[in-house]
Amino acid sequence: MTDITITALPAAPLHVFEIWSNPAVVANRFEAALGSSLPVLGAALQLSAMRLIRYEPTVWLAEGDPAGLAEILGADGSLTAIGGGVVRVRLGGPGWRSLLMEGGVFDAESADFAAGSSAATLIDHVNVRLYVESDDACLAYVPLSYARDMIHFWTVAAKSLV
C-alpha cells in the first residue's frame, strides 16, 4: 500500500486565457476590473468564482466561471473553452511529489514548488499542467486523449513507491 491517492475529478469549466498583444494594457484592464494583478509565471490567483493559473509567459488556465475575462482581453487575446479536452486528476497524500518524479522531467520535490505554485511539464511523454493545492495535494491537468493511460501509469508507479 502506498501513501498516494490518484483521483480523476468531475469535469469543471476550464478555459485558456491567452494574451496575444498589449500585455501591459491587458494587465491594467485585469487589475481595474478584478482588483488583483494577473498571477506571475508559476503561480495562481484564487478569485471568488475562479482560479487563474499561469503556466506560460502569456497563457493562463481559468478554472471556474470566467465571467468578464473575454471583455478584459478584448482584441488582445482569446478565451477558449477546453474543459471537454482536459481531465483534472488530484494526486494526494505525502507521496505525490515522488510520484511526479516518476517519468517526469520536473523537480516536483523542490521547496519552491509549494502551495499555489504551477508548472507545465512532460510526464511519460505527455504534456501535463500542475497546480499545487496544498502540501498534501496537487492537481494535474491531463489531455483527455492521454488521461486513461496517465492514470494507469501513475497507479502502477505509485505501487512501486514505498
pTM for the model = 0.93
Q: Which domain holds residue 100?
A: 5-11+84-160
Give the model's pLDDT for residue 1. Answer: 40
- In the block, cell 498589449 appears at 22
Radius of gyration of the chain (CA): 16
Number of domains in the chain: 2
Would you say 68 and 62 are in contact if contact means Cβ atoms under 8 Å apart? Answer: no
Would you say 61 and 11 are in contact if contact means Cβ atoms under 8 Å apart? Answer: no
If asked whether residues 103 and 126 sit together in one domain, one would say yes
pLDDT tens digits in sequence order for the chain, 162 residues long: 458 999 999 999 999 999 999 999 999 999 999 999 999 999 999 999 999 999 999 999 999 999 999 999 999 999 999 999 999 999 999 999 999 999 888 899 999 999 999 999 999 889 999 999 999 999 999 999 999 999 999 999 999 886
**pLDDT tens by residue, 45-89:** 999 999 999 999 999 999 999 999 999 999 999 999 999 999 999
End-to-end CA distance of the chain: 8
If asked whether residues 89 and 41 sit together in one domain, one would say no
Give the CATH number, domain containing residue 60: 3.30.70.1520
DSSP bridge partners of 99: none
Last-in-domain residue among 33, 65, 83 = 83
